[in-house]
């Protein structure tokens, strides 16, 4: 903590020094430039030579040299600032574009858990869940022993895939197979998941959503889009864009509303599936 305080003080001193330097150089440039301009006008030149100092060749050369030096330093500083800004923007862009689903699932491990009784929630707007479920099942059974989470999985209804005709043909069997696999997994781990406060819900939906992705309870969203394949079928695109929960810029707000609008549409067409972690032998309300 002491080192961090020293760094902050050094940064503050550096910023103050830089502001003073910038003001001095700007003031010197303005005064020098004004003097040179006024020296080209006969009446004002006479006044300057009488009350300030008389310009000769050496003095003019010195003033021009000072202005050139100040301009060179200003250009160098501007270039350095532009390069620093570019590096920051490149890092921000690279951090907000995700190509590997495992990086998104890692957010489940990294998300700080609130100190409250309500579980953290993540909603997955998927298709067949074939890509994400292996990652999620590994997370559930990992040594980290995640606790107090609610996972809602939206997947395409096999019947809708068949009726729509816009998806790859194998998606119908894949969606049905993945739903059965998830149910088997939950049945096998039901007692342990109930003990740890983990719930998993699968909700098949029946609409063509142009977006897919992940929505965390803290407002963080990973969203991607659909594209047309060469055989005129709708398939998922290969990247996810991260919308930070702390970013409330106009751009992020528009993307967030776009994702939420499609999520609302999916929820309206989804089957209100039960909590798979609930023991079927126990009568519900």
Q: Is residue 262 part of a domain?
A: yes
Quick: pLDDT tens for 167-217: 999 999 999 999 999 999 999 999 999 999 999 999 999 999 999 999 998
Range of the domain at 211: 99-269
| Judgement on whether residues 130 and 75 belong to the same structural domain of the protein | no
Task: Please state the pTM of the whole predicted model.
Answer: 0.65
| Judgement on whether residues 93 and 153 belong to the same structural domain of the protein | no
14 or 125, greater pLDDT: 125
CATH at 113: 3.30.870
| Judgement on whether residues 252 and 120 belong to the same structural domain of the protein | yes
DSSP-assigned letter for residue 167 = S
Most confident of 4-18, 60-74, 197-211: 197-211
| Judgement on whether residues 83 and 106 belong to the same structural domain of the protein | no
Query: What is the average pLDDT value for the chain, to the nearest integer?
Result: 80
Q: Is the separation of the CB atoms in 25 and 74 below 8 Å?
A: yes
Report pLDDT for 283. 41
| Judgement on whether residues 196 and 240 belong to the same structural domain of the protein | yes
Q: Is residue 19 part of a domain?
A: yes
Q: What is the tally of structural domains in the chain?
A: 2
| Judgement on whether residues 189 and 250 belong to the same structural domain of the protein | yes
In terms of phi and psi (left: phi > 0; alpha: psi -120 to 50; beta: otherwise), the region of 174 is alpha
Quick: pLDDT tens for 16-62: 777 777 777 777 777 777 777 777 777 776 777 676 766 666 776 77
In 3-state terms the chain splits into helix, strand, coil percentages (rounded to 5) of 55, 15, 30
> Positive or negative CA dihedral for 137, 142, 144, 145?
positive
Q: Which helix (H) or strand (E) holds 268?
A: helix 250-269
DSSP-assigned letter for residue 275 = B
């Amino acid at each position: 903590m002491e080192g961090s305080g020293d760094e902050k003080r050094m940064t503050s001193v550096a910023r103050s020094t830089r502001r003073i330097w910038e003001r001095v150089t700007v003031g010197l440039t303005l005064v020098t430039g004004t003097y040179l301009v006024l020296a080209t006008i006969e009446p004002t030149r006479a006044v300057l030579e009488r009350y300030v100092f008389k310009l000769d060749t050496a003095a003019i050369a010195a003033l021009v040299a000072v202005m050139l030096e100040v301009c060179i330093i200003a250009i160098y500083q501007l270039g350095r600032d532009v390069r620093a800004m570019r590096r920051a923007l490149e890092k921000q862009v690279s951090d907000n574009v995700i190509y590997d689903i495992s990086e998104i699932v890692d957010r489940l491990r990294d998300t700080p858990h609130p100190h409250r009784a309500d579980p953290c929630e993540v909603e997955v707007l998927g298709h067949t869940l074939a890509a994400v479920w292996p990652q999620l099942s590994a997370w559930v059974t990992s040594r980290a022993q995640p606790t107090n989470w609610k996972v809602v999985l939206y997947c395409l209804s096999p019947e809708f895939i068949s009726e729509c005709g816009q998806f790859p043909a194998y998606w119908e069997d894949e969606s049905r197979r993945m739903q059965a696999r998830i149910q088997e997994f939950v049945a096998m781990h039901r007692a342990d998941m109930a003990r740890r406060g983990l719930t998993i819900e699968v909700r098949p939906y029946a609409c063509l959503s142009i977006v897919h992705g992940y929505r965390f309870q803290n407002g963080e969203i990973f969203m991607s889009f659909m594209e047309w394949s060469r055989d005129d079928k709708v398939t998922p695109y290969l990247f996810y864009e991260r919308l930070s929960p702390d970013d409330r810029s106009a751009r992020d707000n528009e993307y967030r509303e776009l994702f939420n609008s499609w999520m609302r549409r999916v929820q309206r067409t989804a089957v209100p599936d039960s909590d798979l972690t609930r023991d079927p032998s126990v009568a519900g309300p």
